[in-house]
Amino acid sequence: MPAIARTTQSERAAQDKKPDPQKKICKRQQVTGSYFTTRECHTKAEWDQMAEDARAASVRQRSAIRSSFGGN
pLDDT digit string (tens) for 51-65? 999 999 999 999 888
pLDDT-derived band of residue 13, with 50, 70 and 90 as boundaries?
low
48: β partners: none
| Count of CB atoms situated within 10 Å of the CB of 4 | 8
Cβ contact 26:40 at 8 Å: yes
**How many angstroms separate the CA atoms of 18 and 13, rounded?**
10
Which amino acid is located at 43 in the chain? T
pTM of the model: 0.59
Q: Where are the alpha helices (DSSP H) in the chain?
A: 2-16, 44-68
* Residue 1 pLDDT greater than 60, yes or no: no
pLDDT score for 8: 66
* Residue 23 pLDDT greater than 60, yes or no: yes
In sequence order, the 6+-apart residues with CB closer than 8 A to the CB of 19 are 44
